[in-house]
Amino acid sequence: MIETLFSLAFLTQVLRIALPYALAAMGGAITERAGVIDLALEAKLLFGAFAAAVVGHATGSPFLAVLGGLGAGMIVAAIQIFCALRLAADQVIVGVALNLLALGGTRFLLQLFYGEGANSPPVPTFGSSLLGNPILWLALVAAVALPFAIARTRWGLRLRAAGDRPDALVSVGVSPVRTRLAAALVGGALAGAGGAQLTLAVGGFVADMSGGRGYIAIAMVILAGWRPQLAALACVVVALAEAINIQLQVAAVGIPSELAQLLPYFLTLAVLIIAGGKHGRPPGSLGKL
C-alpha cells in the first residue's frame, strides 16, 4: 500500500485525475480575475467533454478532440458573457442555468447523435503515457504562463483592471466588456480542455461525467485567493485525495465505498469551512457590471 503511493504509476494517476480540476480552476481564476463570477465551469467541462467525444469519434484524432473541447468551452463562455454582460442577467444564476443546460443538453445530443442514453461511442486516446498527452503540457504551460501574463503583460493589467476598477479601464478607452470576454474565452478554452481530458482519460463520453468537478474547482479558486497557479496546486491535492481513495478501494481497507467516494467533497467542505469566502482578496468588481 505504502509503496504504491510512491510509485510512478500512482503519480501518473494523480496527475491524470488532477488535469480536469486544474484546467477548470485556472480557467475560472482568469474569468473571475476579470470580474465575472464563473459558476459555469461545470457546463464548460461537460460540453468540452462531449465535444471532444464527438470530434474524436468523427475524425479519429485525439488532437482534434482536444481542439473540439477547447472550442466548446469557448462557446459556453461566450454565451455566459452575452447573458451576464449584454443582457445583464444575474451572473450566479447564469452559471447555474448553463450547468443545468449542459446536464440535459449533452444527454439530448447524445441521444440525437448516437441514439444512446448514457455513453458515446469509443474515442481514440493518447495512450497510457501521460507525457504524450498534450493536455498535460497545456496545463503546465498555463500554470507557468498565466501568473506571468496576469502580473507582467498589458493583457494582464487590463484583465485585472476589468476585475477591480472597470471605470478606470473605461477612462483610458478600453472596453471592460471586451476585456472580460477575452478573459472568459481563454478561461473557457482551458476548462473545455479539462473536459476533453475527462473524455480522453476513459476513451468516451459518459453522461454527467463532470460530476461536480466544476464546483470543486471554483472552491479551490477561492481558497487560492484567485491565483491560477495556486488554484491548480490545490486541485492536485484534491486529486491526491481521490487517487488515495482509489488505492484504498483496491486494498479493501473496509471504508464503505459510498463514503470513500465523497472524499473530494468532504475535502472541499473542509476548505470552505476553514477558508470560507474570505481567504485572499476577491476582485473588487467581481459580479458587478
Partner 1 sequence: MTERGAPTPERTRFAQWLRPGSNPRRELLAALIALLVVIAFGSLMMLAAGKAPGHVWSLMVTRTLGDPYLLGQVLYKATGVTLTGLAVALALDAGLFNIGAEGQVTAGVLACAVVGVTLPAGTPAVIAIPLCLLAAAAAGGAVGAAIGVLRVTRGAHEVITSIVLNSIVVGVALWIGNEWLFRGGTTTGGKIAPGAMLPQLGFGGSAVNASLVIAMLAVAAVWWLRNRTTWGQAWRAVGQDPSAARSVGISVGRVQILVMTGSGALAGIAAANFVMGHKHAFEEGLGRGTGLLGIAAALLGRMHPIGVAIAALVLGFLSSGGLAVADVVPKELTEMLLGVVVLAVAAAGPWVRRREALT
Distance CA 75, CA 81 (A): 10
Q: How far apart are CA 181 and CA 185, in angstroms?
A: 6
Residue 248 as a binder of partner 1 (CB under 8 A): the answer is: no
Residue with cell 471554483: 218
199: contact with partner 1 by CB under 8 A: no
Size of the site for partner 1 (CB under 8 A): 54
In 3D, which of 211, 231, 229 has the Cα closest to residue 219? Answer: 231
Could you say whether residue 173 binds partner 1 (CB under 8 A)?
no
Q: Which residues contact 154 (CB under 8 A, 6 or more apart)?
A: none
Site string for partner 1, 48-87 (x = CB under 8 A): -----------------------------------x---x
- The region, left, alpha or beta by phi > 0 then psi within -120 to 50, assigned to residue 287 is left
Distances (CA, A) of 67 to 74, 135, 146, 181, 184: 11, 10, 20, 19, 17
Q: Which stretch binds partner 1 (CB under 8 A): 20-28, 53-61, 111-119, 177-185?
A: 111-119
Using CB under 8 A, pick the residue from 93, 145, 250, 251 that binds partner 1.
93
Q: Does 142 bind partner 1 (CB under 8 A)?
A: no
Which amino acid is located at 177 in the chain?
V
Span 210-229, contacts to partner 1 by CB under 8 A: 212, 215-216, 218-219, 222
Applying CB under 8 A, does 121 fall inside the site for partner 1? no
Q: Under the rule (CB under 8 A), what is the footprint of partner 1?
A: 39, 83, 87-105, 107-108, 110-112, 117, 212, 215-216, 218-219, 222, 256, 258-259, 261-262, 265-266, 268-269, 272-273, 275-278, 280-282, 284, 286-287
